[in-house]
Amino acid sequence: MSIRHTLRAGLAGLALSLAGLGPTAEAHAEALQVRAGAPSRALQVPMNRAVVVESDVPFTELSIANPGIADISSLTDRTIYVLGKAPGRTTLTVLGENGRLITNVEVHVTPDIAEFKERLEQILPGEPIEVRTANDGIVMSGVVSSIGKLDRALELAQRYAPDRVSNLMSVGGTQQVMLKVRFSEMQRSVSKSLSASLGARGTAFGDNLGLAVGTNTLGNSTALGSALGGSLPSSSSANASTLFGFNAGGVEVGLLLEALESRGVVRTLAEPNLTALSGQEASFLAGGEYPVPVSQENGTATIEYKPFGVELTFVPRVVEGDLINLELKASVSSIDPSNGFTADGFTIDAFRRRETATTVEMRDGESFAIAGLLSDDFQDLNGQVPWLGDIPVLGALFRSAEYTRQQSELVIIITPHLVTPTRGETLAMPTDRVRPPSERELFLFGRVSADRAPQSGTAGEIARQDFSGSYGYVLD
C-alpha cells in the first residue's frame, strides 16, 4: 500500500513539474511583516522577481512613488505583491481607514545576481570571485588566475548590468614580462674586375702629324701620357696593375692590365632587453636622433629629429598561466651617407632601416623567429670596344669585365620571460668589477683600471671566485 502511495505522489509531482506548477517553477517570493505604528525595514526586491508584504491590519489604499522601479498589486486586504521592474529605490505607502498612514516601506530593486552567480560558477569554476550589488550595479572582487578569465567575467557581468559593473578584481601570479630580442644580421660582399687597356701615341712627318689612341683606362690623354711615360695612371683604383710598353719607330705602344678583387663581411648584433607590466606598453631606444631640416611654407626651415638605432616597442599580456601574448614592433636603423642628397646648401643623409611589427603568442622561455630576410644581389658587367672586342684572343685587350655579389641575411628572435622583482644587492652592474686606478697604478705601472675587486655584493662574490682550474660541464 505504501509503495502505491509513493508511486502516486511521484507521478503527481512529475505532472506538476511538467505543468509548470511544481517547486522549480515557483516565483521567488519573500514575506515582509508590517506592523502599524512600527518602523519597517527596507524591502530588497530582485529585478523581475516578486516579494510579498503582509500587514497586521487591513489597508484600504496603496501607492508607489516610482512605478517604473516597482509595481504593486493587492492580493488581499492584508497582503501586497511587489514586483521589481528596474534597479533603483522607491517608497511604498500603505494607508488604512480614513487615510490613516499605516507605514512607509523603502523598496530597493537590485539586479538579480543569483542567476549571474550560477553562470559565473559554470563558466569559471574554482575562481574565487565575489559578487555584490551596489545601488543599481554589480561590484566584483577577488583574485583570478589570469587576465583572460578576468575579461570573461567582466563580459558576462555586462550582460546582466550593462555599463554598471565595478571591477575590483585583481590577477594573481606573475604579471611582469621581460622581453629579450636578438637582432642578428650578416652582410657579405664580393667584387672582382679584370680589364686590359691598349694605348698608342706617335708623331710623323716632322711632328706635323700626331696620333693618340687608347682603350678603357688609357682612353683619356692624361692616363695615356702617364702610361706611356712609364708610370701607372693616377686615376686607377685597382689592387694590382701591370704596365708593358715598347717603341715601334716613332710610335709608343703601351699595354695596361688591371685586376681588382675585394671582399667584405659586416656583422651586426643587438640584444635589447625590456620589462613591462602585463597590458602596459614599453619602449626602448638605443641610438640617437638625427636632425633633418624641413622647409616651411613661409620659406623658413625648422629642424625635426628622426630617431635611429635599436628601437623596441611591445605590449605583453599574460593570457593564462605562463602563456604570453605579445604585440611587438622592433627595428634597427643606421645612417647611410651614400644615399643622402644635398638641397639648398644642406646635406641630408639617408637611413638604412630594418623593422618588423607583429603579434605572437608563446609560453614563458620559448623563442620565436618573428622575421627573416635573405637577400642575394648579383651583377655582372662586360664592356668592350665594338668589333675589336669580338676578335679571338686579341679581343681581350679591348674588353673589361666586372663581377659583384652582395648577400645579406637578417634574423630577429624574441624570447619572453615571466619575471618578479628581487633584492637590489643581488643584481650586478657592468661597472661593478671596474675600479679607477690610483695615481701610483696609473703613472708608475700604466694601468687604466685597479686590481682591487669589489668585496661585497654579487659582483664581489663572482670576483673572488677562482676560475683557473677546470669548471663547467663535461659530457661523455
Residue with cell 561590484: 139
Q: How far apart are the first and last CA of the chain?
A: 85
Query: How far apart are alpha carbons 75 and 73 in whole angstroms?
Result: 7
Q: How many residues does the chain have?
A: 476
pLDDT in tens, the chain (476 residues): 343 433 343 433 433 333 333 333 333 445 667 666 566 778 888 888 888 888 888 888 888 999 888 998 888 888 888 998 888 889 888 888 888 888 888 888 887 788 888 888 888 888 888 888 877 788 999 888 777 788 889 999 888 888 888 888 888 767 889 999 888 888 888 888 877 776 777 765 555 566 666 666 676 666 666 666 666 665 555 566 777 777 766 677 777 777 788 888 877 788 888 999 888 899 988 888 888 888 788 877 788 888 888 888 999 988 877 889 999 998 888 888 888 888 767 788 888 888 889 999 999 989 988 888 888 888 888 877 777 777 787 777 777 888 888 888 888 899 999 988 877 766 777 777 677 888 888 888 888 877 655 555 555 555 555 555 555 555 54
Domains in the chain (CATH in brackets) are: 33-110 (2.60.40.1080), 113-171 (3.30.1340), 179-184+266-382+399-419 (no CATH), 190-257 (no CATH), 430-464 (no CATH)
φ and ψ at residue 3, rounded to 5 degrees: -65, -40
Residue 66 burial (CB < 10 Å; 0-12/13-18/19+)? middle
Query: How far apart are alpha carbons 290 and 6 in whole angstroms?
Result: 92
Looking at residue 34, what is its pLDDT? Answer: 67
Looking at residue 314, what is its pLDDT? Answer: 93
Q: Which residues are bridge partners to 412 per DSSP?
A: 183, 371
Which segments of 161-253 does DSSP mark as H helices, in order? 221-228
Looking at residue 463, what is its pLDDT? Answer: 54
Query: How far apart are alpha carbons 467 and 417 in whole angstroms?
Result: 30
- Please give the model's pTM, rounded to 2 decimal places: 0.58
Q: Which residues contact 412 (CB under 8 A, 6 or more apart)?
A: 181, 182, 183, 184, 330, 356, 369, 370, 371, 372
Looking at residue 15, what is its pLDDT? Answer: 38
Q: Which residues contact 400 (CB under 8 A, 6 or more apart)?
A: 193, 194, 195, 196, 216, 382, 383, 384
Query: How far apart are alpha carbons 118 and 76 in whole angstroms?
Result: 35
